Amino acid sequence: MKKLRIEIPLILPEVPDDKDACVHNFIELFEDHKGIDKVHVMQLADSDVPHLCFHYNSSEISISQIRLIAEQIGSSISEKIGHKLIEVRGIRHPRQARNIELKLKELPGMIEVSVSASGMIRAEYERLKLEETDLLEALRKEGLSIPSKSVDAKRYLQALKGELIEKTDKVSAHEHSHGGVFGEQTELIFSIISGVLLAIGFAISFIAAVPSWISIVFYVGSYFFGGLFTTKEALERVSKGGFEVDFLMMVAAIGAA
């Protein structure tokens, strides 16, 4: 019994690993062919991209036939099911990534989607119900820019691996631009404005000649700039059936006010 190894993306473009159901569908279809003992996924030590390992009888099927059949089955699957690996800029932290992921899952025809705080997006969808342009437009509506509409599988996996090792979204916060008024500095600038307004409001509250309502105006402004992003993301999460501790913080802040 001989073996042949082929990288998954060479058979199913923009499918980086066996987490995709199409990989398992491919294996089931391929194992029915004469001369094939079994097909399975394996990870080579010197490669970031998983391989499909074909166990075959060389007296019944050749390497060229295996490659041809693999190409035919892969094309047949890809005609019905679309796969995209996309790089975006504008995701500030994992919480925002989860909110965007929830919205993308609501797109008609979307089978599975994952959004990483590193800016990598993986989508699997029905071509008859959802087009690539619709997916890209949905991302732009979230205030994200798209530097790459088609990411190499190896680069995608390396990005996720790096994010796992770091266990932090600092890289995302510094390397990716935000979709706000001041670009990538929007949230930082809003926080600074919030602090300045709070300080001014607190200071003038001790000045007898200044009406009390003026300091209240500054406090309200501080609440607005300081809580805008947190409130927006918390409400989006709750509206999708999720729950974040930020929502409790927001309610507590309103109560304290």
Domains and CATH numbers, the chain: 2-80 (3.30.70.100), 81-175 (3.30.70.100), 186-256 (no CATH)
What is the reported pTM? 0.63
φ/ψ of residue 59, rounded to 5: -80, -10
CB-CB contact of 9 with 153 (8 Å): yes
Q: Rounded to whole angstroms, how far apart are CA atoms 253 and 228?
A: 13
What element of type H or E holds 256?
helix 245-256
CB of 77 closer than 8 Å to CB of 12: yes
Per-residue pLDDT tens digits of the chain, which is 257 residues long: 899 999 999 999 999 988 899 999 999 999 999 999 999 999 988 888 999 999 999 999 999 999 999 999 999 999 999 999 999 999 988 888 999 999 999 999 999 999 998 899 999 999 999 999 999 999 999 999 999 999 988 889 888 877 765 544 444 444 444 455 565 567 778 788 888 888 998 888 888 888 888 888 888 888 787 777 777 766 666 665 555 555 556 556 556 55
At residue 242, the 3 state secondary structure works out as coil
Q: Other CB atoms closer than 10 Å to residue 166's CB: what's the count? A: 13
